[in-house]
Amino acid sequence: MKHGKLNNERIAVIDLGGQYAHLIASKIRRLGAFSEIVSTDELQPEKILSSFRGIILSGGPSSVYEPLAPSTPRKLLDIGLPVLGICYGHQLIMHQLGGDVKNAHGKEYGPAEIQISDFSGLFAGEEQWDNAVVWMNHGDEVKTLPDGFKITGSTQDCAFASVADTSRRIYGVQFHPEVADTVRGDCYLGNFIKICGLENSWSLEDFLKAKTEEIQKETINRKVFLLISGGVDSTVAYALLSRSLPRDHLKGLLIDTGFMRKNEINEVKKALAAVEVDLDVHDASPDFYEKLGNVFDPEEKRRIIGDQFLKSQETASEKLFETPGDWMIGQGTIYPDTIESGGTKHSHKIKTHHNRVPKIQELIQAGRIIEPVRDLYKDEVRRLGELLGLPDSLVHRHPFPGPGLAVRCLCSDGSENSSMPIGDFINKIENKKNEASDICDQLIRHSLEGLVLPLQSVGVQGDQRSFARPAALLPLKERPSWETLEKISRAIPNYFSDFNRVLIRTGAKNPGGYYRRVPNRYLTPDRIDTLREADSIVTDFLREKNIYSEIWQFPVVIVPVVCGKNQAAPTKTPDSDAETAGPCESIILRPVNSRDAMTASVYRMNFSLIDDLTNRLLKIETIDSIFYDLTSKPPGTIEWE
């Protein structure tokens, strides 16, 4: 028995390197069928036939015509099981069966409307939903179909958005039905589950029962202490462990890194006391600040934070336990944490999660780590928390990263860099003259000045990590509509891979058209205190205006950029390391709507509320400008680092 399912009552999700391989598997489970990730080196058609009732080929960052691109045995398409190819998987099916796949000469990220031409198979019962929104994320596309296939759906820019060979039950879609932004994606995947004959064959309750038994077997003669951040993931992980273990075999430990939110520790202790968590707090903030003193690279920051977490945990455990070696370390790691760290065989690393640094990997190999919710996505974790009886105040709290405010505080080295007009930048890009002209025309038409900010942030474009520049829009007159802003914010990264984010400035103390990066800005208590105060202002504002529950997550990011040619860098007083007052930072607001953290769309806050919040934040003495991040995921990740 595996996860409560016998024999072959499951669907195989073939990992072809996409960041969404596990999301597909998770979505299939939520829709009522058990799914299992299968790597390409585990593919034996005969075994697949005996072990599964259907096959899904995932997306991926490669091109099917490249020599070393991930592939599957051609015979897999002939064994008689229903097959669904998604994005790269769709292209692979077409390529293997004799169709043509070529570069699309322009990447497509974001929403598109699909016109359905065949209301059977994946689209059975969808007649009233023609023109539904689907989510695109690709650079290649199918140009011709193999024999036996027909077009079942198209978008304005993609003729072969959906195809099918119904006689062989083989289907392909260029879009991603597994993400929440594909409006009818659940119905398309639900229809595939019906085609496989597995409708309503599995539930999260099955997972809870199987996981409880698995934890009890994994911890025989062992005890667990869980590193608790106070967020949803670690709290649900604790509740699941507490259901599975005797109380004296489980302990909670909170490492105070110095990067917690305002009043966070007291609120965490109070909240967890309600679910009878035995919580110890270890103040390690001086150690973290010392290790991160002159570090500005995001990956290096994450590595140091992960390593220091372990060192601080070891120090605390020596005080807590007589025999720390008898204890396992529990973590609230979930699927996106491992996926974006390159957790599947072919997946591209987007960023290293602090729970996936090398030392943690060593402990995983040694059997010293237990991660009860690592197979779940955020919405599943919330549902599991509800099943475990946790209060809504914990289960539906905004997600907060384990490294805390440290990954929302961008740093800079000793070099100084300046912004430049976006028109000057994009007009220099070869073979993009028409696109550059279109962007410039849109900016002029809507009275927007465009700048390339002297920053970089992490993103995900075409299933690959990107580390690119943000474009900033500066309104010269009245702010354009949300529809216009989102159209421009999609077009810029779609046309130009040099960008993975688009912002709009909502206010500034020194409103000019020139921005420069302030050099030598690192993780210091003063900067974190400023960010902590800004974050608190935002949270209080959301609750005051009764919109907290409308937003899935709201990162507040501090960046070392200031506006105005004459803006001086902060100086230090003669007898102190403290910086003198004066604007030397900017704040980026990043509210998003999401369901599973694998995709996200910008939250459309009322403009009057944006202005109110902007004015409150500009009262912070060291803050120069406020920006609002307009970027969906992809191409920008939710967090900036």
Q: Is 246 buried (19+), middle (13-18) or exposed (0-12) by CB count in 10 A?
A: exposed
3-state secondary structure 63-127: CCCCCCCCCCCHHHHHCCCCEEEECHHHHHHHHHCCCEEEEEEEEEEEEEEEEECCCCHHHCCCH
Cβ contacts of residue 442 below 8 Å, gap of 6+?
Answer: 448, 487, 488, 491
**The one catalytic residue among 108, 178, 371, 486:** 178
For residues 369 and 383, what is the distance between their CA atoms, to the nearest angstrom? 24
For residues 268 and 422, what is the distance between their CA atoms, to the nearest angstrom? 44
**The one catalytic residue among 87, 187, 411, 584:** 87
Is there a contact between 89 and 173 (Cβ–Cβ < 8 Å)?
no
Query: How many CB atoms neighbour CB 309 within 10 A?
Result: 24
- Residue 264 is among the residues annotated as catalytic for this protein: no
- Given the structure tokens 């799914």, which residue do they identify? 35
- Given the structure tokens 């302030």, which residue do they identify? 518
List C-alpha distances in Å: 154 to 101, 109, 174, 614. 16, 16, 10, 42
Contacts by residues 289-296 (CB-CB < 8 Å, ≥ 24 positions apart): 289/258, 289/523, 289/524, 289/525, 292/406, 292/522, 292/523, 293/522, 293/523, 294/522, 295/411, 295/522, 295/523, 296/411, 296/412, 296/413, 296/521, 296/522
For residues 357 and 563, what is the distance between their CA atoms, to the nearest angstrom? 37
Please tell me what DSSP assigns to residue 503: E
Which one-letter amino acid corresponds to residue 375?
D
Cβ contacts of residue 260 below 8 Å, gap of 6+?
Answer: 230, 404, 405
- Given the structure tokens 């995947």, which residue do they identify? 189
Residues belonging to the chain: 641
For residues 531 and 176, what is the distance between their CA atoms, to the nearest angstrom? 36
**The one catalytic residue among 176, 346, 353, 446:** 176
Q: At what angle do helices 21-30 and 378-387 cross, to 10 degrees?
A: 40
For residues 519 and 102, what is the distance between their CA atoms, to the nearest angstrom? 44
List C-alpha distances in Å: 375 to 27, 237, 335, 338, 381. 12, 11, 6, 10, 9
Question: Distance from first CA to last CA of the chain, Å, rounded?
Answer: 41
Taking Cα atoms as reference points, which of 639, 630, 325, 407 lies closest to residue 501?
Answer: 630
- Residue 483 is among the residues annotated as catalytic for this protein: no
Taking Cα atoms as reference points, which of 69, 6, 64 lies closest to residue 40?
Answer: 69
- Residue 440 is among the residues annotated as catalytic for this protein: no
Active site (catalytic) residues: 87, 176, 178
